[in-house]
């Protein structure tokens, strides 16, 4: 008999069987969304220097990449276009034969069971690298909405299954929802980047997508990292504007926000495990300082525990393999 009474939590940790039985959060292959970067040209497979294992690929490599996803049991891909030509109003974002429109059409033709998510923004397509149109150094809200809506509709016409606007203009969800409805796409869901912070963790992505702003920064439209209540206001706006999914981005430094957005809205919540989060783990793993598999699985599972239903991650292919190995 014990002299002092206390609880024996360790009873449920005694064996791997017991631990598996009481595990509260589980990462599934179905939760993973894989980002790809498509570029013009042929026979292009450029590794992004700050993102080992991530490539920009030309369309002739697309099927090979998509077959790999299917073989691993991943259901969905988010497509980023890197156009050959940029101008001040981002024309290549909404032309019928833009790089992203062709990529979407091709995936739906060659790998029709994959769910294709189109990232809807202008920054890869504008010569100034901002996510909207500019006048005198100011990023204009409402005129940007028109071009973003055109972009979303052109992506839906190309066959995108989901539209994911990442531009952080006010009212983008309402504008895009209306534009899609009017164009006959009322069945296409909007996965809104509702809570997107002006984060230093996007650095490697901007190398991959050639989308760094040529002047200034994105702080007048992306959110200020210290803010939490503002994140809830952003999320609620998007719910009222008709969003079907809500993205919180980045993931790791913002898991508190993932949890609150999930609790407050009840919508499917997507954590975007961004490029800088990928790069840090890769760098440490390549130095032998951490165990890559263990660290990746722990951090993706922590996003599930925080309330994420889905996770956009450059680790999707590896994670899907590790999930299978461990079961």
Nearest to ligand PBG of 154, 211 (CB atom): 211
In 64-145, beta strands by DSSP E: 76-82, 115-120, 133-135, 138-140
78: helix, strand or coil: strand
121 annotated binding-site participant: yes
Stretch that binds ligand PBG, among 81-89, 94-102, 204-212, 225-233 (CB under 6 A): 204-212
Place of tokens 């991943």: 74
For residue 205, the partner it binds in ligand PBG, Zn ion, none, with Cβ less than 5 to 8 A by kind, is: ligand PBG
Please identify which residue in 32, 93, 104, 121 interacts with ligand PBG, judged by CB under 6 A.
121
Half-sphere exposure of 148 (CA within 13 A, CB side): 33
Characterize the bridge pairing of strands 115-120 and 76-82. parallel
> How many CB atoms are located within 10 Å of the residue 195 CB?
28
User: Among the candidate windows 155-163, 170-178, 199-207, 234-242, which touches ligand PBG by CB under 6 A?
Assistant: 199-207
Q: How far apart are CA 141 and CA 30, in angstroms?
A: 35
> In this structure, are residues 243 and 173 in contact, taking their beta carbons and an 8 Å threshold?
yes
DSSP-assigned beta bridge partners for residue 19: none
Is cis: bond before 134, omega within 30 of 0? no
Select from 119, 161, 234, 260 the one that contacts ligand PBG (CB under 6 A): 119
Q: Contact at 8 Å (CB) between 56 and 208?
A: yes
Question: With binding defined as CB under 6 A, does residue 131 bind ligand PBG?
Answer: yes
- As measured in angstroms, the least distance from the Cβ of 238 to ligand PBG is 16
Which residue number, 14 or 122, has a Cβ lying nearer to ligand PBG?
Answer: 122
Cβ proximity of 272 and 205 under 8 Å: no
Q: How far apart are CA 127 and CA 90, in angstroms?
A: 7
Partner residues linked to 58 by β-bridges = 39
Residue 195: name its binding partner from ligand PBG, Zn ion, none (Cβ under 5 to 8 Å by kind): none
Query: Is 196 noted as a catalytic residue in this protein?
Result: yes
Q: Are 33 and 272 in contact (CB under 8 A)?
A: no
Q: Establish whether 249 is a catalytic residue.
A: yes
Site stretch for ligand PBG (CB under 6 A), options 103-111, 119-127, 281-289, 298-306:
119-127
164 contacts Zn ion (rule: CB under 5 A)? no
Residue 241 annotated in ligand binding: no
The contact mask relative to Zn ion for 108-137 (x = CB under 5 A, - = no) is -------------x-x-------x------
Q: Does 274 bind ligand PBG (CB under 6 A)?
A: yes
Question: Which segment (86-94, 149-157, 202-210, 294-302) binds ligand PBG by CB under 6 A?
Answer: 202-210
Tell me the two tokens of residue 163. 């539209």
Please pick, from the candidates 61, 197, 205, 315, the single residue that binds ligand PBG as defined by CB under 6 A: 205
Contacts to Zn ion by CB under 5 A = 121, 123, 131
Active-site residue numbers?
Answer: 196, 249
Annotated binding-site residues for Zn(2+) read 121, 123, 131
Annotated binding-site residues read 121, 123, 131, 206, 218, 234, 275, 314
């Amino acid at each position: 008999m014990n002299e002092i009474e206390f609880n024996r939590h360790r009873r449920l940790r005694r064996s791997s069987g017991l631990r598996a039985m009481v595990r509260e959060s589980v990462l599934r292959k179905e939760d993973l969304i894989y980002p790809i970067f498509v570029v013009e040209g042929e026979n292009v497979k450029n590794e992004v220097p700050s993102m080992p294992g991530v490539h920009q690929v030309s369309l002739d490599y697309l099927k090979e990449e998509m077959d790999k996803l299917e073989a691993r049991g991943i259901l969905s891909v988010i497509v980023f276009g890197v156009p050959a030509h940029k101008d001040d109003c981002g024309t290549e974002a909404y032309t019928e034969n833009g790089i992203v429109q062709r990529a979407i059409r091709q995936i739906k033709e060659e790998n029709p069971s994959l769910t294709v998510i189109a990232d809807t923004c202008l920054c890869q397509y504008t010569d100034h690298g901002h996510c909207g149109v500019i006048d005198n150094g100011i990023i204009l809200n409402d005129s940007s909405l028109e071009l973003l809506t055109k972009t979303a509709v052109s992506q839906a016409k190309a066959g995108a299954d989901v539209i994911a606007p990442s531009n952080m203009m006010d009212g983008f969800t309402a504008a895009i929802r209306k534009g899609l409805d009017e164009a006959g796409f009322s069945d296409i869901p909007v996965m809104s980047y509702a809570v997107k912070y002006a984060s230093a963790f996007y650095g490697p992505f901007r190398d991959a997508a050639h989308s760094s702003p040529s002047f200034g920064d994105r702080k007048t439209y992306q959110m200020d990292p210290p803010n939490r209540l503002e994140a809830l206001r952003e999320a609620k706006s998007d719910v009222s504007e008709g969003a079907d999914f809500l993205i919180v981005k980045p993931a790791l430094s913002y898991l508190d926000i993932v949890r609150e957005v999930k609790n407050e809205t009840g919508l499917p919540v997507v954590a975007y495990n961004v490029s800088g989060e990928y790069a840090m783990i890769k760098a440490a793993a390549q130095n032998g300082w951490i165990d890559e598999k263990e660290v990746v699985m722990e951090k993706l599972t922590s996003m599930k525990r925080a309330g994420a239903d889905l996770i956009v991650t450059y680790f999707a292919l590896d994670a899907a393999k590790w999930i299978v190995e461990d079961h």
